Chains A and B, each alone.
Chain A
Amino acid sequence: MNENHVIRCVRRVTKSLLNKYVILAAMLCSFGLLSAQNPDVKVTGTVLDQSSGEPLIGVSVLVKSSKQGTMTDINGVFTVKAKVGETLKVTYVGYAAQEVKVSSPQLKIRLKEDTKSLDEVVVIGYGTVKRKDVTGSISSVTGKDLLKTQPATFDQALQGKVAGVVVQQISGQPGGGVSIQIHGVSSVNGTNSPLYVIDGIIIPPSSDPGNGSNPLSSINPSEIESIDVLKDASATAIYGSQATNGVVVITTKRGKTGAPKITYDFYVGYQEVPKKLPTVNLQQFATLINARANDIYGGWSWDARPQFANPKYLGTGTDWQGALFRSAPTTNHSLTISGGDNTTQYLLSTSYFDQQGIALGSDFKRYSVRLNLDNKTTDWLKIGTSLQLAHIDEDVNSTQSSVIKTALDLTPDVSVKNADGTYGGVTNPSGVVQPTPNPIALALINKDKKLRNQLFGNIYAEIQFTKDLSLRNEVSGNFDFNTEDKFSPSYTLGLAVRTYNDASYSYGQNIYTSVRNFLTYSHSFKQYNLNAMVGHEAQLNTYQNVSAARKYFPSNNVTSISSGDATTATNDGSKGSGPALEAYFGRVYLSWNDKYLVTGNLRDDGCSNFAVGNRWVYTYSGAFAWKINNEEFLKNVKVINELKLRLGYGLTNNQGIPGNTYVTQLTSAANGLSGTSQFQGNLANPNVSWETTKNYNIGLDGTFLNSRLDFSFDIYDRKTDGLLLQVPLPIYSGTTSGPGNMAAPYENVGSVSNKGFDLRISSTNIRNKNFTWKTDLTISHNENKVLSLGAGGSDANLSQTNYTNNEVAEKTVVGKPIGEFYGYVYDGVFATANDFKTHALPVDQNGKPYPISPNAGGIWYGDRKFKDLNGDGVIDTKDQTFLGSPRPTFQFGFSNSFTYKGFDLNIFFSANVGNKVLNRLAITLNDPQNHISYFTSVLDYAKLALVNPNGSATDVNNVYVTNPNTSIVGLRNNATANDNNRSSDLFIEDGSFLRCKNITLGYRLPENILSKIHLYSVRIYGSVTNAFLITKYSGMDPEIGSWNPLQAGWDDGYYPQSRTFTIGANITFSK
């Protein structure tokens, strides 16, 4: 009795359910199975790996004539009914397919591993091509490879996997997005995101995926079969105007002919914050406050707090980061059933994913169902669908309420909870301490929930007119329905009092539809192969949204809008359509002798974003590939399996601006005069037109040493002209600063160049009977340079102000990369009398140096020195310089996988080199003058002392700094003249890092155990994600993806990526 019995029962039930399903599937299909007419022999065979001799499990064996199929069991053994002389087709993922004649009832079949699956199919847009015949620059990632890092969303897993693609996480919030740049940054207006196409469904880019609403988070990564990244223009041109920044084509898994296959994957994990920042404890805090209040060298002489009189009697106080961050669980279950017969193949997948955030007030849940169907309706018609329904439930309160930044700002003398169990808060009545609300309370009592229902659907019909000519029609849609429910209760958190509560609720829907039809002709004439395609496509996006808000709810527990005070109701909403896109396109592919391959693309795109005269534009590209290994002189060189040279050129266009910027838009605004008024929302530019990119690419692909070494190398040169940009004009244009400005005009302002290379090497270092070791390396390098910025000439620049000090911190000018950090060069603190003699001083508005004095308006000991770069003897704006780029010069991915018998181990590293980060937290938390908390480094503030203790404390020759090597300013109250916190390299840190992104150890259960538990295959594994990080950066994490290339690399207290420990299992129930 007992468990064996139970397992048998379960298995029996499963089996009967399965049988039912198969019958159902058979009924659904009008073309059932035909049984063989003559009695068959029972053929038994064993399938083995050719090199290791190990039996292969789950190999599909198909009798060609009868279409009867089976799979090998745990011993690699199969049994099938067939006649002698018939042909069996033996296929297995990762191995070359074989056809075997039934010569006897006992067969031994050896399959050869196909490491470089040359027959692997690559999606190239409106068609597919075999990997070996690709002419453009395309990288592919398999779904299996993606899953190794257990990503919540697939975009997070691309880092380091695809050469030429720089991936940086924007937020570690569950479901948070990444920024992806393919072959550099070619656009300055924020749309450097590639085009995502999932089973033919175009996913429009999200404006800010870091804060929830990442559209890509609806996709369950385990449903992905493969991802193809189209990088150069010769590959992307066919997608036309949306593809300038590359295309990421995602293909989901589909059913295959064969018996039903049931797999169940699950994992549970727990996540923790990898690093806490060194904030002061209560004793250190009290010591600093005391020192500041009592410092005799110009200290505050106030804000002494009696409770801090004796710091050593104080405890350590509140650890706000400790209170905010938690060990958070994550869980995933997915169940997939797939199979089919010759007529219909199906895949049904369901999944549930639940990730709590490591910061309180954040979590992400995804429920999804996918149904992919393919049906061969008649001998000339094929139809099918890809459908996915997803429900996303996100809590984004921690990001919306900025609780991470607030937790760093709050001082350790404030308690999380009072003795009576209520939430604590700032109680210091001095008023200098801002009554910042308790972030733990905010994280838990505020509500900001985003729900999203998303349907991706694609239906197709393919008509085969003749053997060579076919027409494919596709209708696809991305239907997104979302709500956001926010409630802010009234509270009393110490002195932070919110006297009222309010709520808002919004509903929005975005529907993106496209219709495309294309005709494909494919024919072989002797040594020529021709494939030609022409088509038409139309796409339309429509949106509608409405929101409502009320105040004064009778209770903080009743949060439905209707219970608020009706007289306080406000509402808003908008709707519209656009962009609308229409295109005619065509492609010709010709190969000669399997040696020379040529591809040409032409596309005519129309877009509603431009005024009538500028709407239509041509995109074109051409590529040539030479399969050198097929030349006579290499045919007999055994060491080379494949060698291919690719040359490509193309011109692509980008329309990535909002609609209707070419006319002035008037918005209704409340007004005390007439009830309403018409605010002019933008400065119109009727001449705005397409952004154009010319792209050259040279690539070399090679496979050597019996396919054990494989590489792909690309060099590219992209030049973008007519950069589309919402130009940050000077403030006096009325288009720059805060509310009340008009949206800046979109202009075609200049040109930018991206040059770089990328390399992927895969190598099988060791392969023998029990042990294999494979290594994959990707390297991406890009150099970005602005060539012109339009009308402004050499003075033109695009700059971003650092709001902590209202100074330019990042600047884009001609001759430099987009968005370089900008500011002064820090040069130590004024520490000796000699420093004042030898070092330039900052000047006032008349160019006069500020006096050397401890009084207000003076420069004094402990102030920061900045380098006089132009040598004019004073410090002014002319001493600013460029301080590095927020983008890495190199990004690496390095993966090693080992297998030993049933064990597999994968270790994956990713690395950034050369990027800088603006550590904005350090600006405030290292400033002893601020009114919030501090990093412990602030305790090393510049300490002043007197040369002659009886002398004057205001005599410049009688003072010195005892710790001259500090970079923290002194405690003097009136240190504003020097503007110590001006943008400088002191806050710009090296963001290079090496991250151990993932370590996974798996074990495939051996046959003797499997047979006992009656399962087909089981792999259990454990993994650590973000295992460790090696970096010089002092903040939490130097990986700061940015959506805006002009304001990249700013660390404002990012939601850190968690370290995650996971255990899980992949279970296949039946053959």
Chain B
Amino acid sequence: MNSINKIIIPLLLLVAIAGCKDSFLDRPSESQISSNNFYQTTSDLRLATANLYGGAAWWNWQGQTDPWLELGDVLSGNGFVGYYDQSGDLYAHSISAQNSILSTGWAGLYNVIAQCNSTITGINQYTASSISATDKNAAIAEAKFVRGVAYYYLAIYWGAVPIIEDNSTLIQNPLLKRNIVTDVYKFITNDLTYAAQNLPTTDVAGRVTTWSAQGMLGKVYLTMAGLGQTGGTRNQAYLDSAKLYAGNVCKNSGIELYHSYSDLFKAQFNDVPEDLFALQWAPGTGWGKGNALQTLAPNLGDIQGWSSMNPSYDLYQLYTSKDTVRRKATFMLKGDYYPELNAAAGGYTAGGQTLKKHIIGNAKDNNSPTMDIWSSIEHTALLRLADVYLIYAEAILGNNATTANADALLYFNKVRTRAGVDPDNIINIDSIYKERRIELAFEGQLWPDLVRLFYYNPDKALNFVNSQQSVTFSYSKGVATPGNGTTGAPANVVPATISSFTLQIPASELSTDPKLADPAVPYYK
């Protein structure tokens, strides 16, 4: 008995060991999908590209410190954020390389680019052969469109930046030099052209189409037209390209402006056709993955921000007495009543001057129970048809002082009449810039517009920034009084200089990669 056991027990154990095969060491994740078994159907591709429209990828650019608005609207003088030093420094043009909005913005755009690059790599590497080339190319085109937009912002704000197409190459070779700005723009137009050629003409609401790509191309070419030019004139060939693509969207897309300006910024009207590219935010995502713009909200019950975006006196003055629709949809004045905000409590009456655009109310107002301060369901538009209309008009104006071109006037005035203001008979660069500033206020557009101007007419751009009355104001019974406000005055503004138009590389990035301080090198050999 004993001796039998002595033999049997070890034998059983040997069997147990033999049972341990190599598959014992195969432990694929049970909670996540691996790229090498994804991209098997068209709907896999759609899930992959959906990720590029919002969520964590876009959080840094439009998240907690919100570089999209801080750089687009605070730096340029449209408004300022109360009690936030880093924002105050932008407002005052006293920006150090340590400014956290700088590094967040830089990180945010490159995070988007990393997701786009990985999506393109994944699709190219693993797409099942059963998927049609059209579907595959359309998916790549979506990723290239988003990547083009991200590089556009990088080029606008930082000029020469490193171009990365495949993040995995950074494992072997992590330290890059910057690439010259003309090559960055060339890269952008390559991406957007691919997108314009491979995106469908229509898709479900919220997805980009060829019209999104062509509208963006119009904008990028219009910007490039000034790059490297002197004497206040722009490159006509690029102006023509801008005119071609923007005009194509205006005339051939079949898309019209949405009839109500104020509804554009309400969540019920997310993704109307006018929104050529809007971030697709979801509710209940928690911190770090949602639209956090309502951290700028006043007390709206369950939604109460801790900061505020206040309009500047200069912006306030631009609105004529007729221009109330856009004014009221853009920022609140003391006493303004908004029935749709905190409706259960009878609406909201503004106690001071603060942002209205992107403030959509609480969870009940939007019938979205899981929506919270970190996850507004507003789909923020980065490119609207109205923007493309004005691009088109500006491209037609080109190097002329004024224009009364019928197309230019038609689309320029479509924007104005929708807002309830009178049409113009003749337009010049100043009227276009003023219209853009009003129409697109707090949509992250003003500083890119100023950079576009700066490229070919730096004095005018500098003058624009330095001559404005970018101060707070008090408002009582229809009268606005500029001044230092009673609370939260911004830091003293120093004049912008030529160098203000190119942001510094964030200090921590420069410290990680000292090669960024080297002269920029060409990307295209």
Contacts and interface: CB of A to CB of B under 8 A. Distances in A.
A464 to B, nearest CB: 9
Interface stretch (B55-63, B398-406, B435-443): B55-63
A682 to B, nearest CB: 9
Contacts of B288: 738-740
Nearest to A538: B20
Contacts of B176: 730, 732
Contacts of A977: 94, 96
B34 interface: yes
Interface residues of B, number: 123
Nearest to B126: A664
B122 A797 contact: no
Contact of B172 (A606, A734, A791): A791
A407 B57 CA distance: 35
Nearest to A931: B83
B175 A680 contact: no
Interface in B1-17: 2, 5-6, 9-10, 13, 16-17
A973 B488 CA distance: 12
A591 B162 CA distance: 63
A669 B82 contact: no
Contact of B96 (A663, A740, A801, A979): A979
A663 B122 CA distance: 11
Interface string B400-429: 000000000000000000000000000000
Given A674-B46, A806-B508, A976-B491, A795 B515 contact: yes
A666 B494 contact: no
Contacts of B493: 856
A431 B487 contact: yes
B94 to A, nearest CB: 4
B51 A660 contact: no
Contact of A664 (B108, B122, B372, B492): B122
A461 B12 CA distance: 13
Interface in B473-503: 487-489, 491-494, 499, 502
B114 A976 contact: no
A380 B58 CA distance: 68
Nearest to B88: A976
B115 A680 contact: yes
A948 to B, nearest CB: 26
Interface stretch (B21-29, B231-239, B324-332): B21-29
A665 B29 contact: yes
B203 to A, nearest CB: 10
Contacts of A582: 20, 24-25
Interface in A524-570: 536, 538, 540, 551, 565, 567-570
B451 to A, nearest CB: 16
A740 B507 contact: no
Given A679-B51, A806-B98, A799 B46 contact: no
Nearest to B492: A856
Interface stretch (B247-255, B276-284, B389-397): B276-284
A659 interface: yes
Contacts of A74: none
B106 interface: yes
Interface in A661-707: 663-667, 669-681, 683-685
A672 B377 CA distance: 8
Contact of B26 (A473, A536, A608, A731): A608
B182 interface: no
B82 A431 contact: yes
B170 A729 contact: yes
Nearest to B45: A678
Contacts of A435: 306
Contact of B175 (A434, A681, A734, A792): A792
A978 to B, nearest CB: 9
Interface of A: 302, 378, 380-381, 430-432, 434-435, 461, 463, 465, 471, 473, 497, 499-500, 515, 517, 536, 538, 540, 551, 565, 567-570, 574-580, 582, 606-608, 615, 659-660, 663-667, 669-681, 683-685, 727-742, 745, 747, 791-792, 795-797, 799, 801, 805-808, 811, 844-846, 855-857, 877, 880, 931, 973-974, 976-977, 979, 982
Interface of B: 2, 5-6, 9-10, 13, 16-17, 20, 22, 24-36, 38, 44, 46-48, 50-51, 53-60, 63, 82-83, 85, 89, 92-94, 96-100, 103-104, 106-108, 110-115, 117-119, 122, 161-162, 164, 167-168, 170-176, 204, 206-207, 270, 279-289, 301-302, 304, 306, 363, 369-370, 372, 377, 379, 487-489, 491-494, 499, 502, 504, 506-515
The 6 closest A-B pairs by CB, nearest first: A734-B114, A739-B288, A737-B107, A672-B280, A578-B27, A567-B369
30 contacts: A380-B6, A431-B487, A434-B306, A499-B302, A606-B25, A664-B118, A672-B281, A676-B50, A677-B50, A678-B33, A679-B55, A680-B122, A683-B167, A729-B512, A730-B174, A730-B512, A732-B110, A732-B161, A732-B509, A734-B112, A734-B167, A738-B60, A742-B114, A747-B171, A797-B512, A807-B508, A856-B492, A856-B493, A880-B511, A976-B85
